[in-house]
Structure 1
Amino acid sequence: MSDRTDLVDVLARLSFLVQGTLSDLAAEHGLSLAQVRLGGILRDHEPTMNELGQHLGLDKSSVSGLVDRAERRGLVVRRPSTSDRRVVHVIITAEGRALAEQVGAAFADQVETLTANLTATDRRALVRAAGRILIT
């Protein structure tokens, strides 16, 4: 195999492994993968609906449906902007934050297990290399 084929193969397999792990954790908590991503974004931000769409790569109607479902579960609330009444922010609730933190901690544990055979040097190199890919 060529270096290019090896790189494509390993990145694809790694992506499937990480996404599958996160999807399994989401399902264990009765969440979709998109809802897990939503919780992760809202832990640190109070975005507008438009900003959420950009973060998640979803169109307006998909974001509305996602937020509607999360709101029905008591995980988020919508709040009108104080500066522009046409703008709505999405805020995580205490219940939503607790669930996001629980799923995040479980995911961190899974990543720890998946990377257990890497040395500290290998982990640092992986973080640096992945960071450079994500910046582009």
Structure 2
Amino acid sequence: MAAGTTQDTELVGSLVQLMYVLQDLYAETSRPLGLTPQQAHLLCVLLAGPLGMTELSRIMSIERSSLTSMVDRLERRSLVERLPDPADRRACRIALTGPGTELADQAHSAYTDRIAELTGNLPAGQRNAIVAAVATITRPPE
């Protein structure tokens, strides 16, 4: 990365610090539910519906073998299930079970509630600025 201005360095440092805070919140909120942060993340991702292993691996930025082990553990706890992929009979899709959906909802609520607590005192202008900045940063490349 090329050297930037002090303002650039402060922005990057602030975003890295925010990432650490959010990761810590994931750990803090998943532990009481008997989940690792990665397991909680996987369950929350699956709230949108069943996904294939390749897509899950990409979304979660983990190797397929690590994902397979995590899915195996969650499947033994009856939180997820493997379903046949209608588009590829060799593949499967991972879906939440009823108990998995309940736990995923709890994990998501615990995480978002903690974020709401941390941001609750921000003035409306700062909230709007953060929302706009995050939308710009996370926008997919064209």
TM-score by length of 1: 0.93
- Deviation digits for residues 22-74 of structure 1 (CA, Å, limit 9, x no counterpart): 11111111111111111111101211111111111122211110100110111
Match of 1:12 in 2: 16
How many positions carry a matched residue from both structures?
136
Q: Among residues 54, 61, 65, which one is paired with 2:58 in the alignment?
A: 54
Match of 1:94 in 2: 98
**Separation of aligned partners in 2, 1:103 and 1:133:** 25
**Separation of aligned partners in 1, 2:13 and 2:85:** 45
After superposing on structure 2, the runs of 4+ consecutive aligned residues of structure 1 that deviate more than 3 Å are none
RMSD: 1.4
| Structure 1 residue identity aligned to 2:100 | G
Identity among equivalent pairs (%): 34
Q: Among residues 2, 9, 12, which one is paired with 2:6 in the alignment?
A: 2
5+ long unaligned stretches in structure 2: none
Do the aligned residues in 1 keep the contact of 2:44 with 2:107 (CA within 8 Å)? Answer: no
TM-score by length of 2: 0.89
User: Is the aligned partner of 1:112 residue 2:79?
Assistant: no
Match of 2:126 in 1: 122
Quote how far apart the aligned CAs of 1:84 are.
2.2
